[in-house]
Every structure is written in C-alpha cells, then in structure tokens.
Amino acid sequence: MDFDMGKRAGDLRRELRDLVDDHVPERFLGAFTDDPADLETAQQFCRTLADRNLLCLAWPEEFGGGGASVWEQTVVREEMWAHHEPRGAQYMGVNWVGPIIMRHGTEDQQRTHLPPIAAGEVIWCQGFSEPEAGSDLASLRTTARPDGDGWLVSGQKIWTSYATMAQWCFLLARTSRVGEGATQKKQQGLTIFLVPMDDPAITVRPIRSMLGPHHLNEVFFDALRVTEADVLGTVDAGWSIVQDVMSFERVGIARYARCERLLAAAPTVLGERWESLPAELRGRWIRMLTHCRRARLLAYRVVALQRSGRITPGDASAYRIAVTKLDQDSAEVLMDIAAAVGHDDHRAAWFLGEVEDHWRYSQASTVSSGSIEMQRILLSRAMLSGAT
C-alpha cells in the first residue's frame, strides 16, 4: 500500500530523521526517565524544531506556526513517535492545547499562551481525570464555587501526566450543580480554566509506577482562586471544548509509527536467527504489520475529517480502538521475538531496550485517554445513530 504524501513530505521526513540523529542520543527512551538529562534533551530538541519552524508546522503563521498542511504536521507526528517522541511533553501543547486555544480562547489568552508553545518553552498538563471520574469524565467532583469576581476551585485530579514539570494546567471543574437552573445533565455546568501550576493552592504528588517518574501524579486544588480571565470559552459550557480536546488528542498520538518501526527492525536485528523463529510467531509479526497499516489509514481518515470540520466522536474512537489494541498486541509479539535476540552486538541492545519500553507503555494504552470500553460505546452510538 502506497502512503506517499509527495516530495515535500519525503524531504521533511529526511530532515526530521537527520535532526533526530544529530540531536537525540541513540539510547534515548523518552524525556521522563530518572535521568534529568533526558528531559533537557527533549526541551533542547523542541527549541531546535521551533528555530526551524518545525515544532508547530501546521499552525497558522499569525500564531507562530509554519502555515503548512495538516499532512505535513502528520509527518512530524509520525517521525516523532517513531523515534520515541523526542519532543517530550510538548506534543500536548502542539497537538491540542494550542489548537483548542486558537478555537476557543480570547485574544489575550492567545497572545499569552500560543507564542511560548510555538517556541517550545512551556509544558502543559491536563486536569481531567479524578479518582471516581475517569472514563465517565462528566461525573467529576472538582468544583469552582463563586467568590466575588471569580471562583475558588477545590478538588483532586489523578493520573495527571507531567504535572511535576508543567507550567500550566488545562483544568476542568464544575461551576454549576446538576439539577440547579439550566444545568440538568452532568455534561452541563462544566468550565475549562487555564491555570498556572506554580500557584501555592496547587499540590502535586507523584504516583510511582513502572512507567517511570513524571508520568502519573495526583494534583490537589485547595481553594485555588481563578477569574473570568482564566476561563476558556463560556462558563458552564466546557463540555463542548472537552469533546474537541478528545478528537485532537486521540489522533495526535501516532503510536502506530513506533510499532511499525520496531516490527520492521526485527528481521535485521535477528539476522540469521530470523528464519529459525516459529512460523506461528512470524505469522503474528506479519499480522501486526498489517494492523499498523490499518491504524495508519484510520488516523489519516480522522486527519482528513478534522481538516474539513466533520469529525465526530465515533471517528476518533475507531482510530483509538485500533491503535491501542495494536500497541498491546504488537508489544506481545515483539517481546516473543526479543526472546530470540542475541546479546552480543550493539544493535541488539538497542532493540531490546526499545521493545521492553514499548511493552511497559502498552500496558496502559487501552485505559489512557478514555478506556477502550468507552471508545467502543462511543463508536456503537455513532454507528447506531448513523443507521437511523
């Protein structure tokens, strides 16, 4: 199957790969390890991309972007995820925080937040999930109660990636109780706030896991004061923004590119050992390569729909189901292949480290950004509504 996007895309891929080779260490396994040098590598690489106008390539020029097509930005996304996301946490600001602020933010919010994202100078975290409101996000309990000309936010968020290093939080809180006034459904009465993480009313507590530091955190808000200037969009109408966020977020993570790179490397790494692998295992390997192409096609479909403004939650969910299942299934195949790899050469050490890291991250893939069960429900609803 031909995924050729034209000469410009090919040149861009080569440029990005050269930059990775020049600026990212070969054993780099992401920005969020125990070694602070890995985070600095990612931060410096983001500044390098920004200097070349590649970090926010498809953003409009007036917002600090390159004015390129969404397909060129897709190339950037794929190359970054294929090479262990050397942008670190910046992909969040680039893929959806920035575009959402472009759509819903005031001119002052755009002037404040978009230039630092485009320059690779700021990290964002997402204050959505709570202990009893993960996939059922609208059931959240963090509240913003009126106080003079603003609100006081109190509550807890959990599984908040990058909270220990982020400068800003994209925070969802309840501003009106269900059953009061016009708020009759739990999806109503919710508001987005853009808040600085250095406020003393915010406490971050890391959650240890096999994913390494910085990924998972609890965040507590103890009467955090926010004002009208911190509101993104309209008070009590935050759910429509959340739906936009999910559409951008779920297609923005091109994990299929990393799966395909590791699967494609396996025969070279094994060398003569490859032919001695069980036929059943090589069959599973071929199946995973096929699934990589399926996930890529679904991603491209969502990109095309985003461009036309016709994307629905079902479209994003279909891709999310495919790519998270690919993540886990390919990780199992790669671990079985890795068991046959010799430990006597440099290339083998690279492959084994990458495969182990991929397997660890894949374990949570069907839960993060909305569980696969919720994605199936959203897709089923979309299909049923289309049938009627």
Range from 29-38, 107-116, 372-381 that averages highest in pLDDT: 107-116
Counts for the chain of helices (H) and strands (E), in that order: 12, 8
Give pLDDT tens digits for 76-131: 999 999 998 999 888 889 989 999 999 999 999 999 999 999 999 999 999 999 99
Q: Are 57 and 117 in contact, with CB atoms under 8 Å apart?
A: no
Distance CA 293, CA 276 (A): 26
User: What CATH number should be reported for the domain holding residue 29?
Assistant: 1.10.540.10
CA nearest neighbour of 113 among 251, 243, 229, 246? 229
pLDDT over 60 at 138, yes or no:
yes
pLDDT band at 370 (very low <50, low <70, confident <90, very high): low
What is the total count of domains within the chain?
3
Give pLDDT tens digits for 183-228: 889 999 999 999 999 999 999 999 887 766 667 899 999 999 999 9
> Is residue 247, in this structure, part of any structural domain at all?
no
**CB 137: neighbour CB atoms within 10 A?**
19
HSE-up of residue 378 (Cα within 13 Å, Cβ side):
21
State the pairing for strand pair 124-127/150-157. Answer: unpaired
Cβ neighbourhood burial of 211 (10 Å; 0-12, 13-18, 19+): middle
3-class DSSP state of 290: helix
Of the three residues 82, 100, 122, the one that is the final residue of a domain is: 122
Q: Given this model, what pLDDT does residue 288 score? A: 97
Distance CA 72, CA 11 (A): 10
Of the three residues 122, 150, 168, the one that is the final residue of a domain is: 122
Return the ∠ at Cα 293 (arms to 126 and 12), rounded to 5°.
Answer: 70
Catalytic member of 249, 280, 354, 356: 249
Which tokens go with 278?
């069980």
Q: Is 228 considered catalytic here?
A: no
Residue 180 is inside which H or E element, if any? none
**CB 149: neighbour CB atoms within 10 A?**
7
Q: Given this model, what pLDDT does residue 195 score? A: 98
> Is residue 104, in this structure, part of any structural domain at all?
yes
Do 227 and 319 belong to one domain?
no
Do 42 and 58 belong to one domain?
yes
Q: Given this model, what pLDDT does residue 319 score? A: 84
Give pLDDT tens digits for 48-65: 999 999 999 999 999 989
Query: Containing domain of residue 44, as a range?
Result: 7-122
Do 285 and 213 belong to one domain?
no
Of the three residues 122, 142, 158, the one that is the final residue of a domain is: 122
Ramachandran region, residue 209 (left: φ > 0; alpha: ψ -120 to 50; beta: rest) = beta
User: What CATH number should be reported for the domain holding residue 204?
Assistant: 2.40.110.10
> Is residue 289, in this structure, part of any structural domain at all?
yes
> Is residue 243, in this structure, part of any structural domain at all?
no
Do 78 and 143 belong to one domain?
no
Do 138 and 43 belong to one domain?
no
Ramachandran region, residue 224 (left: φ > 0; alpha: ψ -120 to 50; beta: rest) = beta
pLDDT band at 349 (very low <50, low <70, confident <90, very high): confident
> Is residue 1, in this structure, part of any structural domain at all?
no
How far, in Å, are 52, 162, 380 from residue 89 at the CA level? 19, 7, 32
